[in-house]
Amino acid sequence: MFKLNDRINNDTFEICDLKLCKVLLMNDQSYPWIILVPQMEGLTELHHIPQKQQADLWVEINLASQMMEDLFKPKSINVAALGNVVTQLHVHVVARYENDPTWPGPVWGQAPARPYDDKQRLDLIKNAFNRLQNT
Amino acid sequence: MFKLNDRINNDTFEICDLKLCKVLLMNDQSYPWIILVPQMEGLTELHHIPQKQQADLWVEINLASQMMEDLFKPKSINVAALGNVVTQLHVHVVARYENDPTWPGPVWGQAPARPYDDKQRLDLIKNAFNRLQNT
């Protein structure tokens, strides 16, 4: 049975479930940062996903990327499946700006997360939820 | 008309052209590192690719990832579209090991590239080419 990895669970807040993925907000106000986790047990690599679910995943990556573009108007969107630290397959979708803390470098492992306060977090989750459910 | 970005061109060697993407070997022996560049003009973000070509791209990411798994038996495969430095859309497929120079951190912008010598490079390109063309 699918169970969300504890570290991902600790570092994020839930936005919603799509057809395949759990959509999570990374608790780091340095970047608008979404994590998509396919709700399938034992997956570690993108190319191991069965074809049908892979098609669903790409639809959901597109949806999350479009939401990021619409809500945050970033300079670029970083999409990545890494899995070096947490092996449970998950896809990062990160909105990047030229004045963000690690631009133009990567976001992973560079600086401690800066947690959201409650209002920021609830507003963001509401906006992202509405955009994802109404697209 | 599609033209490969100069910086990508300078940092890589060509392996082959697939249906959509140019497949390139990053000139850095620190990691087996492939770059896929969709041969379409003006693209910067994954979710902007038309649906038909996006399906081709995912087939080619799978193919490159499987080739990396077969040839290099890595601990994990990093798949990422970033575009912070070079905006021309390109997808990294990197084979990672627990003893590589930046594990478990990301590979981008962390350490200077260590170029291949001629024999290493030609052997790698031949093996990758054969695997990609015969799958």
Query: Is residue A52 less than 8 Å (CB to CB) from chain B?
Result: no
β-sheet bridge partners, residue B93:
B34, B79
| Run of H or E including B8 | helix B6-11
pLDDT at position B134 is 80
Write down the CATH number for the domain with range B6-133: 3.30.428.10
Q: What spatial distance separates the first Cα and last Cα of chain A, rounded to whole Å?
A: 29
Query: Is residue B66 less than 8 Å (CB to CB) from chain A?
Result: yes
Per-residue pLDDT of A31-88, as tens digits, reads: 999 999 999 999 999 999 999 999 999 999 999 999 999 999 999 999 999 999 999 9
The CA distance from A122 to B83, in Å, is: 29
Q: A-chain residues within 8 Å CB-CB of B81?
A: 78-80
In the predicted model, what is the mean pLDDT of residues B5-21?
98
Query: Is residue B111 less than 8 Å (CB to CB) from chain A?
Result: no
List the one residue out of A56, A62, A58 whose CA is nearest residue A77.
A62
Nearest to B108 among A75, A85, A106 (CB): A106
The distance of A4 to chain B (nearest Cα, Å) reads 19
- Strands of B21-26's sheet, edge to edge? A12-17, A21-26, A33-38, A91-96, A76-81, B76-81, B91-96, B33-38, B21-26, B12-17
Are A59 and A96 a contacting pair, CB within 8 Å? no
Nearest to A79 among B46, B76, B109 (CB): B46
The distance of B104 to chain A (nearest Cα, Å) reads 5
Query: Is residue B46 less than 8 Å (CB to CB) from chain A?
Result: yes
Per-residue pLDDT of A26-42, as tens digits, reads: 999 999 999 999 999 99
CA distances from B32 to A19, A119, B22, B78 (A): 34, 44, 17, 11
DSSP, residue by residue, B85-129: S--S--EEEEEE-TTSTTTTS-STTSS---PPPHHHHHHHHHHHH
Nearest to A104 among B44, B69, B85 (CB): B85
The distance of B116 to chain A (nearest Cα, Å) reads 24
Mean pLDDT, all residues of chain A: 97
Query: Is residue A59 less than 8 Å (CB to CB) from chain B?
Result: no
The distance of A21 to chain B (nearest Cα, Å) reads 17
Q: What is the CA radius of gyration of chain B?
A: 14
pLDDT at position A134 is 81
pLDDT at A135 over 80: no
Q: A115: which DSSP letter?
A: P
| Residue whose entry in the numeric block shows the structure tokens 């800066």 | A114
Query: Is residue B135 less than 8 Å (CB to CB) from chain A?
Result: no
The CA distance from B21 to A21, in Å, is: 27
Q: Among all residues of chain A, which has the CA nearest to that of B106?
A: A108
The CA distance from B75 to A82, in Å, is: 11
ipTM over 0.95: yes
Are B91 and A91 a contacting pair, CB within 8 Å? no
pLDDT at position B4 is 98
pTM beyond 0.90: the answer is yes
Domain boundaries, chain A: 6-133
Burial zone of A6 (CB within 10 Å; 0-12 exposed, 13-18 middle, 19+ buried): exposed
Q: B-chain residues within 8 Å CB-CB of A61?
A: 46-47
The CA distance from B133 to B135, in Å, is: 6
- Tell me the percentage of chain A whose pLDDT exceeds 70: 100
Per-residue pLDDT of B19-78, as tens digits, reads: 999 999 999 999 999 999 999 999 999 999 999 999 999 999 999 999 999 999 999 999
Query: Is residue B99 less than 8 Å (CB to CB) from chain A?
Result: no
CA distances from B22 to A6, A124, B15, B28, B48 (A): 38, 38, 8, 18, 18
Band of pLDDT at residue A99, cut at 50, 70 and 90: very high
| Run of H or E including B130 | helix B118-133
